[in-house]
Amino acid sequence: MDTKTYIVLFTFLFIILSLQSFWIFKDAQKRGMNKWLWGIFGFFNTPTNLLIYLIVSRTLIKKNICKNCGHGNNKGAKYCENCGEILYID
Ligand SMILES: [Zn+2]
């Protein structure tokens, strides 16, 4: 491959990683997880790290997600810590 192809591929990969990292950052923030740690983690590898993040956030760390604002509340919370909406414990 020539240099130009490398630059195009690298730029493409960089954009993908940035988007992934940004999405994970925002999602972790919403869920009350360590956003910086996860955001940086999401920048290293695609799509493996995205999958790891999804597994950890969706299954291992069970937060009570507010249906009104999307804030991740601690288990057992009856009201949303962010907006005060009544939470349904599942
Ligand atoms: Zn809320």
Residue 78 tokens, joined: 């009856």
List, in sequence order, every residue forming a beta bridge with 79; answer none if it has no partner: 86
CA of 78 to the centre of ligand 1 (A): 11
CA of 64 to the centre of ligand 1 (A): 10
E strands along the chain, which residues? 64-65, 72-73
pLDDT band at 4 (very low <50, low <70, confident <90, very high): very high
Q: Indicate the pTM of the whole model.
A: 0.69
Residue range 37-67, pLDDT digits in tens: 999 999 999 999 999 999 988 887 777 888 8
Query: In whole angstroms, what is the distance from residue 71 CA to residue 64 CA?
Result: 8
